[in-house]
Structure 1
Amino acid sequence: MTENNDIQPAQATRPNGAGDLWGTVDFPLKRHVSPHGQVTAVSMMKDEGAYVIEWVAHHLAVGFSDLVVYTNDCSDGTDDMLIRLEELGLCHHRRNVIPEGIRPQPSALNYAQDEPVVQQSDWVMVFDADEFLSIRYGDGTLDSLLAATKAQGANGIVVTWRIFGSGGVVDWSRAPVTEQYLWAAPQEWNKGWGVKTLFTFSADKWKLGIHRPKMKTKWHETDFPDQVKWLNGSGREMEDYFKFRGWRSITRTVGYDWVQLNHYAVKSVDSYAIRKMRGNVNNKADKYNSDYWSLQDRNEVRDDTMLRYTDQRNQIIAQLLQDPVLHRLHHAAIDRAEARLAELRQTEAYHQLVADLARASAVPITQIVAKPPQARDKEKIAALMSEVEKRRGAKAKSERQALPKEPVEAVPMGSYQSGDINLSQDIAAEVYPNHSMKLPLDARIFTDAARALIQSGKFERGLARRMPQVLAEQAKVLEIGSAVGFLAGHCANIRPDLRFYLHEENPSLRQMMGVVSALSHRAFNDRFVVVDQSFGDDPAAAILAMIADVQPDALLLADPLLGPETLQLLFSARPAPSPAQIFLYGRLLEQHHAALPEIEALLASLGYVADFGFDANIARGFRLQRASDQDDNT
């Protein structure tokens, strides 16, 4: 990550709307001066003293110029720490005096709507103390993210949650949250698709909300909605309906390529115990029960993107703790939390909680049920919708239906676990029939989404149904990236005229290929051959050698190691003989789908035309157009 050099000793710059307390104590660390104006995070906290310093340091490193934090009923010095941060010129603390009958979060947002710092901000984002912004785009700062957003003429970006679990951590630790918890839910798990919105704020046009702002009714029938352009977390334009309502992503709008919001709702068992037994910012009864833990303790996929911020965040933390007042308050909050934990550990309730959470952690992701606070009432929603929303929604639906049935640009649903796969120990795994093959329900190999499909007999159903129909008769098929051999084995089972040559570079998947073949009684023979050749340092050259040796009629490419540069080298070399059919799918499509248009253009220049009728999110098929084909078309 490039250092955010504006967060360095410098001449103080007073933010618009700052209160009298702001910057009254000289301090060498200064607020970030953003090229995009005043970029403000609004949050609410209650008894977050052990985490305040990290949360502030992280979001200073990310590039917020201003942090406005509302507190209520703190007993651990959280409010005192934020007051001191305001004196140092690095934060704005505000009291959340809650009116009767109002919950703390909406109360704070009502105050924030009229807060001068917020009203005079150029960009505003509302999020909680257990949420940390994680930017993949550019140098990882808001400066580059907002530049890319504005370059598309957009004035907002809708950031989807990524739920991070305990990672199996039980004991309390003083280590940073963003370093302790590096295991998360899969991106495709839609129960974790709540959003928060970073947008250009006008108090006259927008009412602040927890997940997204609400456009004020008086602007619905004007041209203002046409001026609103929000992107998703992958830099793609959000659909029109989201200008008016919605609080979560859907398949058509989800994206994580640019930015995500890491949601650390549970942390360790000990951290959870402390929070459960002191209440929560929104006063929800029994919010932190075992069902909540099962939902939030997701640890299926490692995501260490946050580590890009480690050095600068630690540098900022060290600078903050050089202030003697902040140092004292920070360590007092930690001591208080640890003392409270020591008390809890002496109680039966604590030990019962630990046992309950252990059972909750064992609930597989496929069995999680996330019930909404109340059932969705379509009639009530329709009644609340303004006429302009209805018109725009009907128009958008009509336009979608009128367009050719192009594939939805969705988050690719990966079938296989990423990273190193350890198969050193034998495990007992249930086996399920899928098409003409049998697959083990092995979590080391298959993702949660894939295992759910395996259980229902629908694993890679689109490929399994279509591929045997389109491969040419008597074809020799070279598959690069065979994984566990499922697709090739299935095609060979129902198309005995085909001859398959399978290659898989990942040794664990290649090992599992043997297991799957044995379970499925799919024998290796002269018509079903494993190619034992490594890519080495030059995958393109290795594949060209395989093509020259096998002389395939069909080339199936699914290995994620075949990125755009390798494919360019491979196809530019004009393999001899040229396969009559080429298919791109599987892990290659999942990892490199955004870069495939240039590969498709190269194939077109070599005489290949798109064909075979696959959903483009499942596979891309190409047929070599022979001279005779061209004559037939004239």
Structure 2
Amino acid sequence: MMKDEGPYVLEWIAHHLAVGFTDILVYTNDCSDGTDDMLIRLEQLGLAHHRRNDIPEGIRPQPSALSYAQEDPVVQAADWLMVFDADEFLSIRHGDGTLDDLIAAVAEQEANGIVITWRIFGSGGVIDWSRDPVTEQYLMAAPTTWNKGWGVKTLFKFDADYWKLGIHRPKLKNKVIDTAFPDHVKWLTGSGKVMDDYFKFRGWRSITRTVGYDWVQLNHYAVKSVESYAIRRLRGNVNNKADKYNPDYWALQDRNEVRDDTMLRYTGRRDAIIEQLLTDPVLHRLHFAALDRVEARLAEIRQTEAYANLRAGLEVASKIPISQITAKPPQARDKEKIAALMSDVEKRRNAKAKDERKAEPKEPADVMPGGLYLPGPLDAAEDIALEWTANHMVELPADPRIFTPQALALIGAGRFERALARRLPGLLPPQGRLLDIGAGCGFLPAQLARARGGLQITLIEDDPGLRATLARVIARNGLAGRADFVLSDDALPGEAPATAALVAQHRPDILLLSDPRLAGDPLTALVAALDPLPAIILITGRLLEHGFPSLGPAEEALAQRGYAPAFGFEPSVARGFARAGGAAPA
């Protein structure tokens, strides 16, 4: 569904032809910028299908268009089908980035659909209008863990006898709900895992156990630049939401925490298609007329007080940390109303799935350490507005580009790595050299430096996002420039002898090992190669998480070098080892 998307039509069409769609059907209503004329010309060239969305009184544009599309011959003849909008661009990571490869992978699992989660892309700090492609201008996005951006669209195998089109996902027709047909519906998540059974019947967004971006995502460019946003405020939208384009909406959609340039894989194919399209004189004229029209309108509004106020308001909204964004539905979720709408079949299936989840064996809470950091490499080069919270004696940033949702909750509550932060200052010897390899955000060394003196602390961290965060933590907590607290320029070598030589260079009395690249055989080899031997070795953080539960060989190597388990930490918190003559084990 489109309305006044003239500047973007050719990019959107060319991109999705490059992705591999064979038929693109667009409904327009009340266009004033030539969008409909461009689509009519594309239809004449055999590259798209255009329909007028004549909207009945009291009906919103999107449901109206879907009602028409349900009976349209192009839709009726579709094999695989997906409903999405002009500010949404499909981005496929799987295979060669085409629908052919994606659908083949889905079919290989004997599935007939894939639920694709939104990835919210923000302005990236872009203010001015530009003719450059949307998918190249805006490369900053919300973290994959940000659940307020988890709306979905569905690519599925279509059969008009069974399915009714929907905005986010199709709906089973009533006549087939209580038949064997739902048993044959198998949809996957965006990571290629089997989707929960409940989603066959209802739902419009992913949840923690169903979200996935490994195979495919739907890039949602809801705001674009400040000036693009200003233009959108001057017209309606496909759902007639009069108050949609305001600073609150901007703050919600202008998420720029993580760089994602996967879309650039399509640049060559897309540009070749656009170049071919513009050889048609009619499309060429309509396309550049749309660009000229929007730029002329911008020249007018830039002189107005309304534009100045809007720009100032959006600048303030852009500075709101992601941790402070609230996004409440317009109507509270009514569980009783939802239950009343459910068919008996749906209720039985949901109850069965719930019982099956309850029956699954649960791992003991202390068996597997919880992840505090997102998988690397991480990108936190840009110094964005973040909420800082005191955790013991160290302030930490609630940075969703770096920390998992679990860790963000702990930071907000002042409980990040609380068990170690409480005990380490009293357990370690009063003097000595401490080397932390894989220091992460630097919380534990910073806590030691703030809580007590006497230690010479050196930190090594290679991941660029964590290193940038570590530098900010050091500066925020007054540790920059201290001779006894040093962020080293050293990098972790690839082989154990070189790593052992690096350790020997710093001659630590206390060695903290947290880098996940040491997990498995590298850790065992490093222990065997250490010379001289530190008095204390602690295995923590990402190394413990990624190396668990295969620490047996490393523990045997430590025993052979004269180390014994020490300090009595919970296995999921840390593993401590001390040599005879080192610190007295607790």
Pick the TM interval, shorter chain: 0.7 to 0.9
- Measured against aligned partners, the alpha-carbon deviations of 1:231-262 in whole angstroms (never above 9, x if no partner) come to 21122222111111111111111111221111
The answer to whether the Cα contact below 8 Å between 2:323 and 2:398 also exists between their aligned partners in 1 is no
Equivalent-residue separation in structure 2 for 1:193 and 1:160 (angstroms): 6
One-letter amino acid of the counterpart of residue 513, structure 2:
L
1:455 offset after TM fit, Å? 6.5
1:431 offset after TM fit, Å? 6.2
Q: Which residue of 1 is the match for residue 262 of structure 2?
A: 305
Equivalent-residue separation in structure 2 for 1:174 and 1:243 (angstroms): 41
One-letter amino acid of the counterpart of residue 570, structure 1:
P
Say if 2:544 is the partner of 1:576: no
Aligned residue among 117, 125, 142 for 2:82: 125
- Counterparts in 2 of 1:238 and 1:577: CA distance versus 1, 3 Å: same
The answer to whether the Cα contact below 8 Å between 2:80 and 2:155 also exists between their aligned partners in 1 is yes
Aligned residue among 99, 102, 106 for 1:145: 102
1:131 offset after TM fit, Å? 0.4
Partner of 1:284, secondary structure, is coil
Q: Which residue of 1 is the match for residue 564 of structure 2?
A: none
Equivalent-residue separation in structure 1 for 2:189 and 2:537 (angstroms): 35
- Measured against aligned partners, the alpha-carbon deviations of 1:406-455 in whole angstroms (never above 9, x if no partner) come to 499999764999336378xxx999864313x3115486996696996576
Q: How does 1:51-70 map to 2 (within 5 A)?
A: 51-70=8-27
Equivalent-residue separation in structure 1 for 2:81 and 2:33 (angstroms): 28
1:196 offset after TM fit, Å? 0.7
Stretches of structure 1 that go unaligned for 5 or more consecutive residues are 1-43, 625-634
- Measured against aligned partners, the alpha-carbon deviations of 1:50-103 in whole angstroms (never above 9, x if no partner) come to 100000111111111221111112121111111211222211112212122211
Equivalent-residue separation in structure 2 for 1:352 and 1:501 (angstroms): 49
Aligned residue among 302, 307, 320 for 1:345: 302
The answer to whether the Cα contact below 8 Å between 2:421 and 2:447 also exists between their aligned partners in 1 is no
1:277 offset after TM fit, Å? 0.8
1:361 offset after TM fit, Å? 2.1
1:316 offset after TM fit, Å? 1.1
Q: Which residue of 2 is the match for residue 465 of structure 1?
A: 419
The answer to whether the Cα contact below 8 Å between 1:164 and 1:182 also exists between their aligned partners in 2 is yes
Q: Which residue of 2 is the match for residue 288 of structure 1?
A: 245
Q: Which residue of 1 is the match for residue 52 of structure 2?
A: 95
Equivalent-residue separation in structure 2 for 1:500 and 1:154 (angstroms): 54
Q: Which residue of 1 is the match for residue 379 of structure 2?
A: 419
- Counterparts in 2 of 1:539 and 1:332: CA distance versus 1, 3 Å: farther
Q: Which residue of 1 is the match for residue 412 of structure 2?
A: 456
The answer to whether the Cα contact below 8 Å between 1:67 and 1:91 also exists between their aligned partners in 2 is yes
Aligned residue among 481, 484, 491 for 1:535: 491
Q: How does 1:395-410 map to 2 (within 5 A)?
A: 395-406=352-363
Say if 2:346 is the partner of 1:386: no
Equivalent-residue separation in structure 1 for 2:569 and 2:184 (angstroms): 41
- Measured against aligned partners, the alpha-carbon deviations of 1:142-170 in whole angstroms (never above 9, x if no partner) come to 22222222222222111111111112222
- Measured against aligned partners, the alpha-carbon deviations of 1:186-209 in whole angstroms (never above 9, x if no partner) come to 222111111111111111111111
The answer to whether the Cα contact below 8 Å between 1:478 and 1:501 also exists between their aligned partners in 2 is yes
Q: Which residue of 1 is the match for residue 324 of structure 2?
A: 367
One-letter amino acid of the counterpart of residue 465, structure 1:
A
The count of aligned residue pairs is 553
- Measured against aligned partners, the alpha-carbon deviations of 1:583-613 in whole angstroms (never above 9, x if no partner) come to 5744x79xxx9xx6xx6686567788xx987
- Measured against aligned partners, the alpha-carbon deviations of 1:336-356 in whole angstroms (never above 9, x if no partner) come to 222222232343333332232
The answer to whether the Cα contact below 8 Å between 2:399 and 2:408 also exists between their aligned partners in 1 is no
Equivalent-residue separation in structure 1 for 2:220 and 2:301 (angstroms): 25
One-letter amino acid of the counterpart of residue 494, structure 2:
D
Partner of 1:64, secondary structure, is coil
Q: Which residue of 2 is the match for residue 327 of structure 1?
A: 284
Deviates more, 1:443-452 or 1:328-337: 443-452
One-letter amino acid of the counterpart of residue 336, structure 1:
R
Equivalent-residue separation in structure 1 for 2:380 and 2:387 (angstroms): 22
The answer to whether the Cα contact below 8 Å between 1:170 and 1:268 also exists between their aligned partners in 2 is yes
- Counterparts in 2 of 1:467 and 1:223: CA distance versus 1, 3 Å: farther
Say if 2:144 is the partner of 1:187: yes
One-letter amino acid of the counterpart of residue 113, structure 2:
G
Say if 2:63 is the partner of 1:106: yes
- Measured against aligned partners, the alpha-carbon deviations of 1:541-571 in whole angstroms (never above 9, x if no partner) come to 4434456787999863335xx2xxx756625
1:281 offset after TM fit, Å? 1.5
Between the aligned residues of both structures, percent identity stands at 59
The answer to whether the Cα contact below 8 Å between 2:394 and 2:447 also exists between their aligned partners in 1 is no
Q: Which residue of 2 is the match for residue 481 of structure 1?
A: 438
- Counterparts in 2 of 1:218 and 1:524: CA distance versus 1, 3 Å: farther
One-letter amino acid of the counterpart of residue 39, structure 2:
L
Say if 2:120 is the partner of 1:163: yes
Q: Which residue of 2 is the match for residue 261 of structure 1?
A: 218
Partner of 1:66, secondary structure, is coil
Partner of 1:236, secondary structure, is coil
Equivalent-residue separation in structure 2 for 1:147 and 1:347 (angstroms): 53
1:496 offset after TM fit, Å? 12
1:297 offset after TM fit, Å? 1.5
Question: In angstroms, what is the RMSD of aligned CA positions?
Answer: 4.2
Stretches of structure 2 that go unaligned for 5 or more consecutive residues are 557-567, 578-586
1:487 offset after TM fit, Å? 3.0
Say if 2:228 is the partner of 1:276: no
Partner of 2:7, secondary structure, is coil
The answer to whether the Cα contact below 8 Å between 1:421 and 1:445 also exists between their aligned partners in 2 is no
The answer to whether the Cα contact below 8 Å between 2:113 and 2:157 also exists between their aligned partners in 1 is yes
The answer to whether the Cα contact below 8 Å between 2:113 and 2:154 also exists between their aligned partners in 1 is yes
- Counterparts in 2 of 1:203 and 1:441: CA distance versus 1, 3 Å: same
- Measured against aligned partners, the alpha-carbon deviations of 1:211-231 in whole angstroms (never above 9, x if no partner) come to 111112222222322222212
The answer to whether the Cα contact below 8 Å between 2:527 and 2:554 also exists between their aligned partners in 1 is no
Partner of 2:122, secondary structure, is coil
- Counterparts in 2 of 1:531 and 1:320: CA distance versus 1, 3 Å: closer
1:479 offset after TM fit, Å? 4.2
Partner of 2:6, secondary structure, is coil
Partner of 1:170, secondary structure, is coil
One-letter amino acid of the counterpart of residue 392, structure 1:
R
- Counterparts in 2 of 1:398 and 1:583: CA distance versus 1, 3 Å: farther
Partner of 1:50, secondary structure, is helix
Q: Which residue of 2 is the match for residue 214 of structure 1?
A: 171
The answer to whether the Cα contact below 8 Å between 1:123 and 1:200 also exists between their aligned partners in 2 is yes
The answer to whether the Cα contact below 8 Å between 2:258 and 2:380 also exists between their aligned partners in 1 is no
Q: Which residue of 1 is the match for residue 563 of structure 2?
A: none
Q: Which residue of 2 is the match for residue 136 of structure 1?
A: 93
Deviates more, 1:114-123 or 1:173-182: 114-123
One-letter amino acid of the counterpart of residue 322, structure 1:
T
Q: TM-score, normalised by structure 2?
A: 0.81
The answer to whether the Cα contact below 8 Å between 1:84 and 1:326 also exists between their aligned partners in 2 is yes
Say if 2:133 is the partner of 1:176: yes
- Counterparts in 2 of 1:514 and 1:269: CA distance versus 1, 3 Å: closer
One-letter amino acid of the counterpart of residue 438, structure 1:
V
- Counterparts in 2 of 1:430 and 1:377: CA distance versus 1, 3 Å: closer
Q: TM-score, normalised by structure 1?
A: 0.75
1:138 offset after TM fit, Å? 2.1
The answer to whether the Cα contact below 8 Å between 2:390 and 2:414 also exists between their aligned partners in 1 is no
Aligned residue among 249, 257, 261 for 2:206: 249
- Counterparts in 2 of 1:606 and 1:226: CA distance versus 1, 3 Å: farther
Equivalent-residue separation in structure 1 for 2:40 and 2:369 (angstroms): 46
One-letter amino acid of the counterpart of residue 464, structure 1:
R
